[in-house]
Structure 1
């Protein structure tokens, strides 16, 4: 045990870190940023289409597009936007609080190519072009904004590069217009054009659309011009045109590859649900630990609270963004953090049963539990690392909070709880540490029944994979297959058949419609094309007495879907490879690692099968859950491996089958308890985490339960099956 002086330093360090974290995180609403999925907004991934540009023009085109989009967004008045390059041709745009998707997409994606083109006013030439379809050389036969035909020059006399400024103005009828001011070069060119083309028409063309084509009555040398429209622009239209003209024309067209629009209502619901799940899950875990482990449980609960405080402090200090999956990561971390405390407490229980004094039992418990705690956390961190590398914003948020939480749990479970026990020893009356015990010593012959459970696993996986493969593309969500999801919440429930008829009237025939049983006011549409504008307009017109809120719109192109699928497979393959290498290194035997990873494959396939059976589709959140299962499910396997390694050193006369059986029986209670306590948090997410996290939690429930089964009946027997003779190492 530590000296009083060292103990004082430890206590001060713990209190200092706790105080610093609280100071950094307070007040939470100002120190921690919420992601778009929690406060609402738009997430866009744009591709700069360089296909029609020559090699010289391609140089720097993406950088110019990035700068122009940044200028437009800044003038749009969005608070704390994120605009950054992704890869070679993609630009990521995040607009917090923006839900007017039509306006935002037009403002960001509009090329804004402004051209001044001369019009051939000869009636004979216009008539011949209309009848014979043979316009004069250098001209094209087009319609103006009012639908009237005219002959427009193919070449521009002046472009938007000559614009110095563009502002909202008022035309002669008092309606909004766009006032243009030319730079010096543009002023001279415009003056020359108007002076030489009196009584001719000059069309103002924006992105190929003729806005107006007035007759030139006299030369204009003021360096100013005006864009008007019959009936006038709306104030918002005039403002948006002014913004894009001031920012300049994009060097190439923008293609929206991915769009995710989250309404403020869904964001607020997600925050409430996430907090509720966190509180309920924490209460369940605290309650169990305090009742089952008594004083040790109280110590563990104090460590968990500190763990949570440290996570908040870290996020505040590094200005991290909290997403909905990030909240799930915090909830899950608190459950996983208890695993270490359970391992330590069970080790202390064993030492006390051997008759050791309390101080020695506690010291020995921490020492013997350390390797299993370290190995199990490292494997989960490996999965989290690859999630962060290959994931998108919200998924990265989950990986970040999970990683930070696990690192904090190593500190709180090993250092903080031990310091608390050392402080308790200052009281001379502290000589006993009581704990309840639900599962006593067992003597099951798990190895003898291995063939039966092999067959059972093959049967379950086979049935699940048959259904999964039979579903084909329908097994995947839009993240991987492409398409669009729209989600609305009406004031009152609307029959699905009525919605289907309305959509058919609008020409939307292939949309899949889902109504939630938990809340029949919520309707979700899934289609292969972008039908959001048509559907929204139809709903507004038909349900005037039953208004709705837009909860979310997600739109993923097939190219992005393919890329996300490849990234998901890469993340899974690299995670399993990393775990395989680490376990083989730590236990000095490839057989141990291979059996553990095969058990992980078992858990993943079982989870996929249950997803298919329940009709749930695989999306990015499901992949996140699967990678979490891969990192976490091996924890129990590592605990058994750790005991096998320990027993092989001390029981050299026993056969490997006997050692494995003994090790599984010795660790059975903690295998059930560690996963069981984490499952309390997952159950809280499943029932109270909200609709967005429901499938994620379902996936974890199946995977973690399968993990307990595979640890006992798959991984351990496989070590025996693949090992003729293993000499103890380590």
Structure 2
């Protein structure tokens, strides 16, 4: 980060308040699994739209692909970081982008069912779906803006992709799609609109089920909150409690099942263990261990003693050690040209001898790759133990760009004789062979964790207040705003309940990839996304209720049922496309976004449920009893103009 102190005093401490290390192996695996899942999710969503809407699906796919290209181009132009969470946000924005097309196409279907011509169906479909699209996108944009304002760098990457994706969606899905439809119709290329149909004309009585639905939700949320209370601080990730998170790797043939790993590390405070599955690596070889113990060294030492001889370790090989003392004087020019870089690559102690004194060279090979900082510290320590403290040495690697980027091969030049250099390298190789590979290590101090917790609470409250205020003003009725916040709270609490219960069901639902999930910053980002996504479907039904209500001051049970039935296909489809993307991210996205994808998955399911059987009936309840509301005169229940 950048420290902007200005004229104010700023204190720097030798002990960092937050530190994160990720091995190159884990980074490559995470990128590979995440990219594969995101590509597959995009292909599945686009294929579904093509099969279900046919020609209209082709138009929707073109709009979505244009949306992706524009988002990536804008991110490059503004130099926004492409984080893993940001890429996940891009995939979710794909799922949400097709929602606009679904809203338009279902409106067009209704027009065709009424006998309208293709031209009129296109015009009315786009026109009457526009306000709903704007409402749903704006509410999600609110959560994206809040997330960008309070989030970490990674979460800001997610917020940026979400904001850009939804903003550009109004251009691609509404304007570009309309242009294609108009051109196809005017050129006589589009004479009919053929679409699949999920539901016919339904007449379900959803209001009848509101009481059992509310009771079921209250029972489940209560059970989940009790589980959260039982877990205490253990339900929070180290983002909120402070502590250490380590990913370990076992040697081939030395893996353990997750129950054995949990038992071995049970002495750590607030410990949670989850399996890490990447590519073709067996599930019992990698585990992520989270604990509130803030000393990373203590955690790593405990892991070494708990799994003696089982943890994968580093290895180092070296080639022939040659003496360069007899090199011609012509080589001094090359040595002189590397002087500036050697000043960076050797420690302050090594500066006591000049680089010209380097007389021995050897090639080093690290199958697991290693960066210059770590290798330099290891060699310095070996020199010190061998009694050669202060001896000059130089480390270089072909194409090296930064000292923190890992490379497999390194060239070492030292001022020691070849035989002494060999002894030091043998000592380094032995030390590395006993050093376990920690794929990632993340330590967070208590002060950072406390600030994060306060920020997360403010973010959730700000999102809820802003969305409720918008819905209230948009529908000009407080009942709609209050019903929306009840549904949103329901979805957030159900998701938290599932996270709290995960520790108890994980041993039985391992086949479903359920781990001991905790509330982390990524999960908070997921909760904010759920808040924005859930309100989308709710607004679709609220818009239809407003149309059916006409000039009446209140809604009736019949109005609510008709509104839900008329938008049922649209609700299932809009949720289904996002659900497809979330399932693929959950199953194939890797450990980096596993908890995030789990929360999104639960939130989408809960949001669809609450939209249908909780939010809309609550509007009826808030405006009075069903009997009183039903007394509204029948003319007010005329068919909507859409």
TM-score by length of 2: 0.71
More strand by share: 1
Q: CA deviation at 1:474?
A: 0.7
CA pair 592-653 structure 1, distance change in 2 beyond 3 A:
closer
State the structure with bigger RCO (CA 8 A, min sep 6), 1 or 2. Answer: 2
Partner Cα separation in structure 2 for residue 545 and residue 608 of structure 1: 34
Counterpart position of 1:669: 569
Query: Matched residue of 2:122: which SS?
Result: helix
CA pair 585-503 structure 1, distance change in 2 beyond 3 A:
closer
Query: Matched residue of 1:322: which SS?
Result: coil
Verify: 1:477 aligned to 2:378, yes or no: no
CA pair 714-535 structure 1, distance change in 2 beyond 3 A:
closer
Partner Cα separation in structure 1 for residue 215 and residue 311 of structure 2: 58
Query: Matched residue of 2:567: which SS?
Result: helix
Partner Cα separation in structure 2 for residue 661 and residue 500 of structure 1: 50
Verify: 1:277 aligned to 2:37, yes or no: yes
Q: CA deviation at 1:384?
A: 0.8
1:698 corresponds, among 595, 598, 601, to 598
2:500 corresponds, among 593, 612, 627, to 612
2:58 corresponds, among 273, 292, 298, to 298
Q: Is the 8 A contact 2:312 2:437 kept in 1?
A: no
Partner Cα separation in structure 1 for residue 221 and residue 310 of structure 2: 50
Counterpart position of 1:528: 292
Counterpart position of 1:679: 579
Q: Is the 8 A contact 1:265 1:549 kept in 2?
A: no
Partner Cα separation in structure 2 for residue 683 and residue 566 of structure 1: 31
2:450 corresponds, among 552, 559, 562, to 562
Q: Is the 8 A contact 1:383 1:627 kept in 2?
A: yes
Counterpart position of 1:365: 125
Partner Cα separation in structure 2 for residue 601 and residue 575 of structure 1: 11
Deviations 1:615-648 (A, max 9, x none): 2111101111011001110111100011111112
Structure 1 runs not aligned, ≥5 long: 1-81, 92-250
Partner Cα separation in structure 2 for residue 601 and residue 590 of structure 1: 17
CA pair 609-87 structure 1, distance change in 2 beyond 3 A:
farther
Counterpart position of 1:454: 214
Q: CA deviation at 1:308?
A: 0.6
Partner Cα separation in structure 1 for residue 90 and residue 565 of structure 2: 32
Q: CA deviation at 1:529?
A: 3.4
Query: Matched residue of 1:321: which SS?
Result: coil
Counterpart position of 2:47: 287
Structure 2 runs not aligned, ≥5 long: 278-282, 314-435, 504-516, 637-642
Counterpart position of 1:594: 482
Q: Is the 8 A contact 1:322 1:397 kept in 2?
A: yes
Q: Is the 8 A contact 1:321 1:397 kept in 2?
A: yes
CA pair 520-86 structure 1, distance change in 2 beyond 3 A:
farther
Query: Matched residue of 2:116: which SS?
Result: coil
2:546 corresponds, among 622, 645, 649, to 645
CA pair 429-502 structure 1, distance change in 2 beyond 3 A:
closer
Q: Is the 8 A contact 2:148 2:155 kept in 1?
A: yes
Q: CA deviation at 1:450?
A: 1.4
Counterpart position of 1:216: none
CA pair 550-428 structure 1, distance change in 2 beyond 3 A:
same
Counterpart position of 2:510: none
Aligned length: 485
1:329 corresponds, among 89, 107, 117, to 89
Choose 259-268 or 385-394, whichever is displaced more.
259-268
Partner Cα separation in structure 1 for residue 568 and residue 617 of structure 2: 15
Q: CA deviation at 1:499?
A: 7.7
Verify: 1:347 aligned to 2:347, yes or no: no
Counterpart position of 1:172: none
Q: Is the 8 A contact 2:294 2:445 kept in 1?
A: no
Q: CA deviation at 1:291?
A: 0.8
1:625 corresponds, among 526, 532, 535, to 526
Q: Is the 8 A contact 1:270 1:690 kept in 2?
A: yes
TM-score by length of 1: 0.63
CA RMSD of aligned residues (A): 2.9
Counterpart position of 2:441: 553
